[in-house]
């Protein structure tokens, strides 16, 4: 498969002006300003192949959005190699721009004062989409996302979920080969999130569009992405299958039991690391490999186990764990 | 051409959704014209029977100057500064940069569309206001003059657009360009002859004004309309405008290319 996105040793520095707190400092800053350089991206490299749907994760300020902006040619990289579809994004060639799309959950491309349909027509002109193609794509997308009923209402009057659906249509009208989705489900309710998620899944499967998705909702990632790239402090800390991530970073399982006789804490502790206990229930933390063995021991014990549940750490836990790592301590 | 027409039509549609704004702007312009005319008529009347000319302007010419000038200003204002500065400041520029059309070109089409609408409504507004001063208005049906005026206005639109865009682009380096715009706007209005005809100024200053591009947005075309200067002078003016356009275009390219490298696409 063809490599669609290529990033090697990417670095991006920003200049930031500092201001001390208070009014006096504000007056002082009229004449003197302290500038510092912040490295938003220290060293990022990855390749993405055609048709992949990659989850791009990281805590706030990790450099996700900056990376997406560099991939779309909005900001210039400080150094490093970046190509999208074989083009250098920051050259902003029209040929390149007609083949990719960027959707930001917190930034609209459709003008708010106008109905979405008018915005679509403007996009049609700017992207020079032929009539037949435009009509066919529009019909398909409006049906898939079920937005026909509010196409002629000014965008600002729409709900967040409706607006995001319109934004997705706007981004896909020209049939992009690469789609960068930055927090497309942010602020949406559970149902709307699910709708958007299902749409993305279907779209990726049918059109073979290469998609990078950032989201703070792990459900989005679990549902959609086979591969995840995790960045923190401007560096890649994990790049691989989501399933492998679990094995690597969730070395423990938990075993919960409920019993028919009351439990003594001292006795429980002899079985393993206890993380929670009540009169008729307890939870143990155990190494992944030992889970089966401990479960068997508990059932055979004289604790009177009535019910037992082996639980694996959720992706949320794993990701939270990775996010909380300091930049020095590489995983 | 399709892109151009679509963007212009979109600008019209959007502007028309803000009809209150349109009405209020025109109301302000009408009020200004009326006040200026009343003021000048009073000045002429107050200067006694002996004086019918002030710096070579009859009262009729002065009133016509105000009405024509206001229509001209409506056309040459391009309003691109605020658009560009805001887009840069809040990061909206990001969404435009990924589109297969140059941002400046897009803004040019969009603002040109908006200006055309303003021009049409301004003409209606000034016609309404001029009803009160019909006795004072001078008509000039000379085709040659009108042609030069139209050419001058188009070039004036370009210079104003370039200048406003350059000011807007300064937002790459500073957070807010309102102060800069307001400052240059006053200077421009003065040198355009927007407050009074430039012939009232000392000769030296008036000459400098004709070398600057601003006089061609108001004073010079209004003088042409009143046939107070010759076609030849008008054509020399067009030459001066073209030189300015070339200079400003190069400056804009230079500033834009430097600024865009600094752009951070904030707001996220």
3-state secondary structure B198-254: HHHCCHHHHHHHHHCCHHHHCHHHHHHHCCCCCHHHHHHHHHHHHHHHHHHHHHHHH
Dihedral angle, C-alpha A23, A27, A28, A29, nearest 10 °: 100
- pLDDT for A91: 92
- Give dist(CA B156, CA B211) in Å, integer: 13
Question: What single DSSP character describes residue A189?
Answer: -
Predicted confidence (pLDDT) at residue A300 exceeds the cutoff of 90:
no
Residue A89 carries which DSSP code?
Answer: G
Chain B residues in contact with A98 (beta carbon < 8 A): 100
Minimal CA–CA distance to A256: which of A317, A313, A308, A314?
A308
Res B50 pLDDT > 60: no
Phi-psi region of B56 (alpha: psi -120 to 50; beta: other; left: phi over 0): left
The whole-number average pLDDT for the span A141-146 is: 90
Residue pair A213/A220 in contact (Cβ under 8 Å)? The answer is yes
ipTM score over 0.85, yes or no: no
Quick one: angle between helices A131-145 and A160-172, nearest 10?
150
Beta-strand relationship, A281-287 and A34-49: unpaired
Helix (H) or strand (E) holding B38: helix B19-46
Residue of B7, B263, B265 with shortest CB distance to A122: B7
- Chain A residues whose CB is inside 8 A of the B95 CB are 102, 104, 107-109
pLDDT digits (tens, 9 = 90+) for A216-243: 888 889 889 999 999 998 899 999 998 8
pLDDT of A277 reads: 85
A160 three-class SS: helix
Q: What's the mean pLDDT in A61-75? A: 90
Give the strand order in the sheet containing A305-312. Answer: A273-277, A281-287, A252-259, A305-312
Give the confidence band of A166 by pLDDT, cuts at 50, 70, 90: very high
Tens-place pLDDT, residues B144-164: 999 999 999 999 999 999 999
Which pLDDT band holds residue B268 (cuts at 50, 70, 90)?
A: very low
pLDDT digits (tens, 9 = 90+) for B100-113: 999 999 999 999 99
| Mean pLDDT computed over every residue of chain B | 87
- Would you say residue A136 has pLDDT above 70? yes
Distance CA A111, CA B15 (A): 12
pLDDT, tens digit, 9 for 90 and up, residues B58-97: 888 888 888 888 888 778 777 789 889 988 888 889 999 9
Lowest-confidence region among A169-183, A186-200, A267-281, B64-78 = B64-78
C-alpha A234 chain-centroid distance: 15
In sequence order, what E strands does chain B have?
none
Please tell me the predicted confidence (pLDDT) of residue B58.
Answer: 86
Query: Which pLDDT score is estimated for B14?
Result: 84
Question: Quick check: A274 pLDDT over 90?
Answer: no
Residues of B in contact with A75 (CB under 8 A): 263-265
What pLDDT is stored for residue B165 in this prediction?
A: 94
Which residues of chain A have a CB within 8 Å of the CB of B101? 94, 126
Q: Which of A12, A39, A75 is nearest to B260 (CA)?
A: A75
Q: Does the distance separating the beta carbons of A127 and B100 come in below 8 Å?
A: yes
Among positive and negative, which fits the CA dihedral B184, B189, B195, B198?
A: positive
pLDDT at A164 over 80: yes
Q: Is residue B1 within 8 angstroms of chain A, CB to CB?
A: no
Residue A246 has pLDDT above 90, yes or no: no
Instruction: Flag whether pLDDT at A176 surpasses 60.
Output: yes
pLDDT at A204 over 80: yes
Selection from A317, A219, A72, A48 nearest residue B100 by Cα: A72
**A214 touching B (Cβ < 8 Å):** no
Q: How confident is the model at residue B12 (pLDDT cuts 50, 70, 90)?
A: confident
Distance CA A288, CA A284 (A): 12
Q: What's the length of chain A?
A: 331
Distance of residue A80 Cα from the nearest chain B Cα, in angstroms: 15
Residue B48: the pLDDT is 64
User: Strands A100-104, A3-18: parallel, antiparallel or unpaired by DSSP?
Assistant: unpaired
The whole-chain average pLDDT of chain A stands at: 88
Which residues sit opposite A54 in a β-bridge? A212, A227
> What pLDDT score was predicted for residue A329?
44
A104 or A325, greater pLDDT: A104
Q: Work out the average pLDDT over A169-196.
A: 92
Res. B258: pLDDT tops 80: yes
Distance (Å) of CA B184 to CA A138, B80, B81, B133, B205: 46, 14, 11, 32, 17
Site from A74, A123, A171, A178 to mutate, B interface, most B CB atoms within 10 angstroms: A74
Predicted pLDDT at B1: 62
Cβ-based contacts of B17 with chain A (< 8 Å): 113-114, 154
Average pLDDT, integer, range A69-82: 93
Q: Find the CB nearest A113 among B5, B7, B14.
A: B14
**Would you say the C-alpha torsion A318, A320, A325, A327 has a positive or negative sign?**
positive
d(CA B171, CA B164): 12
Residue scoring higher pLDDT (B185 or A247): B185
With left for phi above 0 and alpha for psi between -120 and 50, is residue B157 left, alpha or beta?
Answer: alpha
A280 contacts A259 by C-beta, under 8 angstroms: yes
Residue A7 structure tokens: 């990033």
The answer to whether residue B267 scores a pLDDT higher than 50 is no
What's the CA gap between A250 and B264, in Å, rounded?
A: 37
The pLDDT value given to residue A330: 44
Is B10 within 8 Å of A69 when comparing Cβ atoms?
no
* Phi and psi, residue A132, nearest 5°: -60, -45
Distance from CA of A103 to the nearest CA of B (A): 9
**Whole-angstrom Cα distance, residue B62 to residue B8?**
35
Check residues A280 and A174 and name the one with the higher pLDDT.
Answer: A174
Cβ–Cβ of A65/B95 closer than 8 Å?
A: no
Work out the pLDDT band at A331, boundaries 50, 70, 90: very low
pLDDT for the residue B265: 65
């Amino acid at each position: 498969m063809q490599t669609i996105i290529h990033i090697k040793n990417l670095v991006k520095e920003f200049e930031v002006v500092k201001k001390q707190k208070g009014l006096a400092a504000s007056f002082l800053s009229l004449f003197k300003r302290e500038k510092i350089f912040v490295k938003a991206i220290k060293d990022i490299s990855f390749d993405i192949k055609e048709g992949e749907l990659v989850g791009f994760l990281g805590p706030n300020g990790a450099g996700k959005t900056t990376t997406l902006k560099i991939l779309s040619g909005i900001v210039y990289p400080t150094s490093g190699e970046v190509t999208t579809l074989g083009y250098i994004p920051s050259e902003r060639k029209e040929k390149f721009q007609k083949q990719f799309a960027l959707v930001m959950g917190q930034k609209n491309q459709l003008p708010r004062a106008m109905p979405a349909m008018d915005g679509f027509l403007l996009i049609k002109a700017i992207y020079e989409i032929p009539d037949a193609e435009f009509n066919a794509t529009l019909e398909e997308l409006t049906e898939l996302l079920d937005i026909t009923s509010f196409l002629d209402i000014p965008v600002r009057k729409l709900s967040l979920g409706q607006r995001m659906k319109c934004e997705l249509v706007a981004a896909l009208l020209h049939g992009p080969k690469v789609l960068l989705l930055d927090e497309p489900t942010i602020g949406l309710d559970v149902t709307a999130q699910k709708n958007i998620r299902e749409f993305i899944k279907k779209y990726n499967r049918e059109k073979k569009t290469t998609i990078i998705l950032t989201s703070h909702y792990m459900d989005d990632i679990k549902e959609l992405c086979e591969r995840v790239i995790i960045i923190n402090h401007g560096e890649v800390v994990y790049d691989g299958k989501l399933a492998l991530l679990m094995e690597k970073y969730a070395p423990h399982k938990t075993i919960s039991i409920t019993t028919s006789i009351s439990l003594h804490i001292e006795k429980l502790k002899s079985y393993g690391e206890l993380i929670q206990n009540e009169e008729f229930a307890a939870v143990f933390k155990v190494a992944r490999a030992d889970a089966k063995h401990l479960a068997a021991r508990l059932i055979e014990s004289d604790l009177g186990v009535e019910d037992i549940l082996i639980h694996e750490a959720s992706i949320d836990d794993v990701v939270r764990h990775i996010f909380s790592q300091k930049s020095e301590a590489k995983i | 051409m399709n892109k151009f027409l679509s963007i212009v039509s979109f600008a019209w549609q959007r502007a028309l959704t803000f009809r209150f704004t349109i009405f209020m702007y025109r109301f302000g312009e009408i009020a200004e014209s009326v006040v200026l005319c009343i003021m000048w008529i009073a000045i002429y009347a107050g200067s006694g029977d002996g004086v019918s000319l002030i710096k070579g302007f009859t009262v009729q010419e002065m009133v016509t100057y105000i009405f024509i000038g206001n229509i001209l200003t409506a056309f040459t204002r391009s309003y691109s500064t605020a658009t560009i500065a805001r887009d840069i400041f809040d990061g909206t520029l990001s969404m435009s940069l990924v589109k297969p059309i140059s941002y400046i070109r897009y803004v040019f089409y969009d603002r040109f569309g908006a200006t055309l609408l303003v021009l049409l409504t301004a003409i209606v507004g000034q016609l309404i206001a001029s009803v009160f001063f019909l006795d004072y208005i001078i008509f000039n049906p000379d085709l040659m003059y009108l042609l030069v005026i139209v050419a001058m206005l188009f070039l004036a639109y370009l210079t104003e657009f370039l200048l406003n865009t350059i000011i807007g682009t300064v937002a790459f380096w500073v957070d807010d360009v309102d102060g800069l715009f307001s400052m240059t706007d006053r200077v421009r209005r003065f040198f355009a002859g927007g407050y009074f005809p430039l012939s009232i100024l000392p000769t030296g200053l008036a000459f400098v004004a004709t070398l600057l591009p601003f006089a061609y947005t108001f004073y010079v075309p209004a003088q042409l309309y009143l046939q107070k200067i010759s076609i030849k002078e008008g054509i020399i003016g067009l030459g001066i405008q073209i030189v300015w356009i070339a200079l400003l275009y190069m400056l804009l390219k230079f500033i834009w290319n430097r600024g865009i490298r600094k752009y951070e696409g904030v707001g996220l």
